[in-house]
């Protein structure tokens, strides 16, 4: 791989050295005297450097600055009815709201829209229904199953009873008018408890993806995941299996350590075969560099992260990603997905400054 150039080091170091004014760290703003209508938002400034060896054996690298901005309004009508509307940058992309710096590319300024717009109905204290463009109610820690930046157009329900939570959602993926739609039904049961002073959380669930024949290699997906917290340590495991004929398994191992109230460390190991995630990787995370405009599959690699809290609601994270393809995509069956990774290898260095209010 190429040695990182001085410009790239400077780009990442610039964000790593930033501190934010204390005035930017504030609570959501109440817009009425009762606190039923609130304005909230966040901003991210990112610097990243990528280095890859393409499938043809060519070495390439790039560096860039990016940003993400989101501004939301939450409103509570009464104890039963509430709603959220949020604007964000990058809404034309499926799962990346980040915009690359480039002053002459004015099209990015128009790439703003609703990434959340939903209503919630709570007829009982432990039962909630959502409808609209809503965050997916599916517990996970790595986003290997579903990228949290993808807020599906969906109907969802959450039922809670003591340590047990039941999640269900029906999401419309593609509305094809008079043709065949693509939709997905998701389900999950989550248990949260404590054993000998250790906090434990476990879940079992899955998804049934209904798409026109030949679109993707898999339809049914099954997932188990668990988490254990003890003292400053957190450990996690996610395992995913699909009904594809081949390359149908994925798993993620996670370890975190909280050094103190300001500093934390994370390490993830991913092994994601091409047809294990939904849509052959279309809806999976894109923190690891993706080959197209959606998620990424057909890779194994690790992510190392340092978290630093600068002030209340202001933090900095430094990340390193290292990945390799599992198989040459030329050997895989046909798929509409552009998520199947095919570079021989790739690594990414990234710094994020995150501010919330």
Q: Whose structure tokens read 């390439």?
A: 60
Q: What is the pLDDT of residue 110?
A: 73
Residue 4 pLDDT > 80: no
For residue 46, give Cα distances in angstroms to 23, 49, 268, 328: 21, 10, 20, 31
For residue 165, give Cα distances in angstroms to 64, 82, 204, 205: 41, 21, 11, 12
Residues 293-317 have a mean pLDDT of: 97
Share of the chain above pLDDT 90, in %: 83
Q: Whose structure tokens read 């999401």?
A: 171
Name the nearest CA neighbour of 355 among 40, 52, 128, 49: 40
CA–CA dist 44, 286 (Å, integer): 16
Please state whether beta strands 263-272 and 59-76 pair in parallel, antiparallel, or not at all (unpaired): unpaired
CA–CA dist 182, 168 (Å, integer): 18
pTM exceeds 0.85: yes
Q: What are phi and psi of 109, to 5 degrees?
A: -70, -25
Q: Is the dihedral of CA 122, 40, 37, 149 positive or negative?
A: negative
Q: Chain centroid to CA 353: how far?
A: 17
Please state whether beta strands 127-133 and 345-356 pair in parallel, antiparallel, or not at all (unpaired): unpaired
Q: Chain centroid to CA 108: how far?
A: 21
Q: What is the pLDDT of residue 18?
A: 41
CA–CA dist 237, 204 (Å, integer): 12
Q: What is the pLDDT of residue 11?
A: 47
Q: Spell 302-316 as b/e; 16+ CB within 10 A means b.
A: ebebbbeebeebbbb
Place 105 in a pLDDT band, splitting at 50, 70 and 90: confident
Instruction: Sketch out the chain's domains with CATH numbers.
Output: 6-356 (2.40.160.10)
């Amino acid at each position: 791989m190429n040695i990182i150039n001085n410009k790239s080091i400077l780009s990442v170091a610039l964000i790593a050295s930033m501190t934010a004014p204390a005035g930017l760290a504030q609570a959501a703003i109440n817009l009425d005297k009762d606190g039923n209508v609130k304005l909230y938002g966040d901003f991210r400034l990112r610097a990243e450097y990528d280095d890859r060896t393409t499938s043809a054996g060519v070495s390439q690298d790039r560096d860039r600055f990016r940003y993400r901005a989101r501004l939301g309004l939450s409103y509570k009508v009464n104890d039963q009815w509430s709603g959220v509307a949020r604007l964000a940058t990058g809404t034309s992309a499926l799962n990346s709201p980040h915009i690359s710096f480039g002053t002459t590319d004015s099209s990015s300024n128009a790439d703003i829209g609703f990434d959340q717009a939903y209503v919630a109905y709570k007829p009982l204290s432990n039962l909630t229904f959502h409808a609209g463009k809503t965050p997916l109610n599916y517990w996970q820690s790595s986003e290997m199953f579903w990228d949290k930046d993808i807020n599906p157009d969906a109907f969802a329900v959450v039922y809670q009873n003591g340590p047990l939570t039941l999640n269900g959602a029906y999401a419309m993926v593609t509305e094809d008018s008079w043709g065949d739609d693509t939709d997905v039904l998701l389900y999950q049961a989550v248990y949260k408890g404590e054993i000998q002073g250790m906090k434990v959380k476990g879940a079992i669930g899955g998804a049934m993806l209904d798409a026109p024949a030949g679109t993707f290699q898999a339809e049914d997906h099954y997932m188990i995941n668990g988490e254990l917290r003890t003292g400053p340590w957190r450990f996690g495991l996610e395992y995913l299996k699909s009904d594809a004929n081949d390359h149908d398994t994925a798993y993620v191992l996670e370890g975190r350590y909280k050094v103190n109230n300001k500093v934390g460390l994370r390490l993830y190991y991913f092994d994601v075969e091409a047809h294990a995630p939904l849509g052959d990787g279309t809806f999976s995370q894109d923190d690891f560099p993706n080959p197209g405009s959606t998620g990424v599959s057909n890779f194994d690699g690790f992510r190392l992260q340092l978290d630093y809290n600068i002030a209340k609601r202001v933090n900095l994270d430094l990340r390193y990603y290292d990945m390799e393809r599992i198989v040459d995509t030329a050997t895989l069956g046909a798929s509409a997905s552009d998520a199947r990774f095919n570079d021989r290898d790739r690594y990414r260095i990234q710094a994020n400054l995150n501010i919330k209010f």
